Structure 1
Amino acid sequence: MKIRNLLLIPATLVATLSSLTSCGVDRWPEYAAETELDQWITTVMRENYLWYADIPEDKNLNFFKAPEDFLKSIVSKEDNAASYIDTIYQQPLPSYGFDYNLYQVVNNDTAYNALITYVLPDSPASAAGLKRGDWIVEVNDEVITKKSEPKLLNTGLALKLTTGTYTYQTDPETEAQ
């Protein structure tokens, strides 16, 4: 009798485990469309949000909420309603896959340089070798102006970008004093 009981318990355990694992159906394609915006919000917030440490772990998040409700559930108490969703485009705008900030060139009131602040993985910008922290100093062999600056974001045309780096230089005369 004891031998049968010992044999029945492992057999029951094996049957239970195999039934649990064999029922697994890959439902990711079905759920991806419902959760992709919330997952994108989480990714961007973890990389750029001032209070990123306050965002709960993924296992504690409900990625099936509407994007506006999802954002409200992850923002910090310190945020004071500074973070919100302005609009959600159904079709993405054409993009090279990077973002930047413009800085006016010293002693030139119309010329700007663009500091790259973000490069999307697997984007045209990434394939071209652009990295966060690079500076774009010319577009198609022309300095960047407020008029030509929109070309950097979404024209969809091939661009020739001249990049550079800034280094801190001291004035030898000032150092000697």
Structure 2
Amino acid sequence: MADDSGLSIDGPETLRGALVVLVFGCALAGYGVYDYVQQDDAVRDAVEVDATITDVGVETRSTTGSSDVEYQPTVRYSYEYEGESYAGTDLFAASIPPSYDTESAAEEVVAGYETGETVTAYVPPDDPNDAFVRTERSNSPLLAAGIGGILALLGGASAAKRVTTRSRA
């Protein structure tokens, strides 16, 4: 009985899929490394300013495709830099913020902040909109880089297997 679906296990569709995983993995790994380096530069070069906390909380979000919930600590603050007023929401310098598995863990991160309190914010001179209030480095970019690296290896191995199988046929 012939399969008229147009798909085959060793066909071009699976090679394309492997290449997509390879490219996506490389992009994710690259972005993770870039974000970690950017975070390090921002912490090192930042200028300290006074900021006023305007809101503190913990937001919940569901992870894609599962019933798991992640908790994101949030702090909103206002500050001035070189005569201009700004509002910030970043706790850390990384673009990929850490998330927490329990609400209590996220609450611990923001436990030291109270609405109306004055805290130190750190402003990157080249981008004063990207202030942050914690100088600890987030490991989330490294996690993204690791996941991307694994995906790139899997996609590359799968693509190599498909090409080798096709060249023998």
TM range (shorter): under 0.3
**More RCO (CA 8 Å, sep 6+):** 2
More strand by share: 2
What TM-score do the two structures reach when normalised by structure 2?
Answer: 0.24
What TM-score do the two structures reach when normalised by structure 1?
Answer: 0.23
